Structure 1
Amino acid sequence: MTRDIGFFVFPKFQILDLTGPLSAFQIAGRQYRLHVISPQGGLVPSSAGLDVMTTRAEERYFDTLVIAGGNGARAGSRTEALPALVRDLASRSRRVASVCTGAFLLAAAGILDSKRATTHWRRAADLQKRFPGVAVDRDCIYIKDGSVWTSAGISAGIDLALALIEDDLGAEAARAVAQELVVYHRRPGGQSQFSAMLELEPDSDRVRRALGFAREHLHEPLPVERLAEAACLSPRQFGRAFRAETGETPAKAVERLRAEAARVRIESGSEPIESIAVLVGFKDPERMRRAFLRLYGQPPQALKRAARALRVVR
């Protein structure tokens, strides 16, 4: 069985959002026919200035429709024509996927309504704010919700493509493609994206103040009431403002800050993991282990072994 894969692009798309997944499907072999399509057809300029030849999106069936991301996706999601075309194409596809900010076009087309989805961590809060009916999860490399798949930023499109190939052809086929691409097979979908919580700069001074307070008091209990007090807001006001600014709940953000602080200690020193868990505010090592599995896809011990091996090599 040969499957037709349609890669939908538009002016100012991110070139790796196209070439990464396209290369994975191309390497998978004759099981796939690949089509790069656009609203008008012809040469379409990427945000890198590289033009890509496309065919005009027409009324045809695709097994899988992949929507690229980039600045053009966010801009296009504010128009009527581009989301309408995506909605029409998706209605004639067995499954739909987006890479990075391509999720904005899926959301604008109504395809992500009441679904879990992810996008580039830097754009997750904006996606949630603009489309409150979407359950945005900024943690994941990719998410499958029914027949709709979304992925994180740029290179995560390769992880997405490998997962789609595995869904079609099995784990061995996906592993062979990963080996040919010389990439890890494969980052789990639930593994956290790179987190910039330590560098997060929300628009609100009050939310920034609460984050600064949390960073300085990680070893202490940090219930939402205490963070709200630091922000000079009621707990309810603070919770709403914090989620709107960051796309996270306060509790999840504190967990992320603690995990990041613990990871730095684990990878750069020789402290016992049990001691690190206490120093950064986890009540016990088991809680820290569960947080690491959620955020990094592996336990603290694995990161410690990897860091030790890297130091030996160096």
Structure 2
Amino acid sequence: MSAGSVAVVVTEEIGLPSWDLYELSIPCTVFGKAQSDLADPWYELMLCGTGAGERPEDAAGTGLVLRTGYGLDDLVGADTVIVPSVPDPCVEEGEPLPRELIRALRRAYDAGARMVSLCTGAFALAEAGLLDGRRATAHWLHTAQLAERYPKVRVDDSVLYVDDGDVLTSAGLTAGLDLCLHLVRRDLGAHVANQLARRMVVPAHRPGGQAQFIDLSVPTTDDDALAPVLDWARSHLDRPLTVRDLALRAAMSPRTFYRRLQAATGTTPLQWLLTQRLGRAQSLLESTDLPVEKIGELSGLGTANNLRHHFLRHIGVSPSEYRRAWRQTVC
């Protein structure tokens, strides 16, 4: 087993926003501090900057000035290259990524480096063509943009990270820590990864995927005929509602109601109801100590077994695991 060298890309060296700082700190914490009692030698960490060269007074964000000791040319020869994130305008507004960064990523991959992205770093790997034909992920807020901009990438927004051998991607924020610990597990074994996780006071492995953190709410419709009946349905989720019930309350035929709801929300009536019921169950699991059986009843999902079935299928974890993970998160 070997640790090797890890090159972390810093795409903005001045005025890093707090979002980027958090994800940059994760590989620095995991790979940058020697743990010689766990593995010797430990990883060799290099921070490789793009060298944008902004003046500090012009920089936005935290105002922190970060000068790296390595440049993009140093990505070539590293055993692992990590792109923690890319500037927000490149994601939100489609601004081009630095061409020198994309060329450096391709050269590093061609030289045999293992390529890793955290959160929106997936946009850089995708731009370099390294995710074509591969399954990949990013923060669920940005997976739709990733899939639209790079149709050759098989985007999965339900997982915390994807290990595709020599190319790995993670969801946002703390999911980057899950992936970095996974890299340690691959390189140095489960014992080392587990001990490192204990020192960092985090789980060595979190159950489920990022599906459990996705906002399930459906945007409020501006269809005046639908809004009242949908508000009513949300207040009566414990009832055995049907499409016919909702259509009658909206004074429409079931066919018309189906068509209007799908046009307004992008989903079918039955899927809308299921999403609302799951959202209610999540809220009750987060905020109460009610037993699973009672939550199934109040959310309209029925028995505890039926609630577990839908949670495992759509959220990726059981109700009990969801409640435990949520409470660990807020604590």
Query: Shared topology, TM-score over 0.5?
Result: yes
Aligned to 1:9: 10
Select between 146-155 and 82-91 the one with higher mean Cα deviation: 82-91
> Is 1:65 paired with 2:81?
yes
Question: Does residue 1:164 correspond to 2:183, yes or no?
Answer: yes
Compare the two structures and name the one with the higher strand fraction: 1
Q: Is the 8 A contact 2:207 2:321 kept in 1?
A: no
- For structure 2, the 5+ residue unaligned runs are 36-40, 245-254
* CA distance in 2 between partners of 1:125 and 1:100 (Å): 13
Q: Would you say 1:56 and 2:71 are equivalent positions?
A: yes
Cα separation, 2, equivalents of 1:251 and 1:170: 46
Residue 109 to residue 304, structure 1, CA distance change in 2 (3 Å): closer
Residue 99 of structure 1, CA deviation: 0.7
1:21-54 CA-to-partner distances (Å, cap 9, x unmatched) read 2211234633311111123488997943322222
Unaligned runs of 5+ in 1: 244-248, 310-314
Secondary structure in structure 2 of the residue aligned to 1:96 = strand
Deviation at 1:118, TM superposition (A): 1.4
* Residue number in structure 1 paired with 2:50: 39
What is the distance in 2 between the residues matched to 1:175 and 1:166? 8
Of all paired residues, the percent bearing the same amino acid is 32
Where 1:120 maps in the other structure, the secondary structure is coil
Which residue, out of 219, 227, 230, partners 2:260? 230
Cα RMSD (Å):
3.9
- 1:242-261 map, 5 Å: 242=266, 257-261=276-280
| Corresponding residue of 1:98 | 117
The change in CA–CA distance for 1:98 and 1:279 in structure 2 (over 3 A counts) is same
Matched, 1:78 2:78: no
How many residue pairs end up in the alignment?
292
Instruction: State the 1:193 CA deviation.
Output: 5.2
Structure 1 103/42 Cα, relative in aligned 2: closer, same or farther at 3 Å? same
Moved more, 183-192 or 127-136: 183-192
Q: Does 1:18 align with 2:18?
A: no
Does 2:146 correspond to 1:127? Answer: yes
Deviation for aligned residue 1:110: 1.4
Evaluate the alpha carbon distance shift between residue 267 and residue 188 of structure 1 in structure 2; reply closer, same or farther with a 3 A threshold: closer
| Mean CA deviation greater in 67-76 or 2-11 | 67-76
Q: Give secondary structure in 2 for the equivalent of 1:105.
A: helix
Offset, 1:129: 1.8
Q: Structure 2 residue aligned with 1:301, among 314, 317, 320? A: 320
Structure number with larger C-alpha Rg: 2
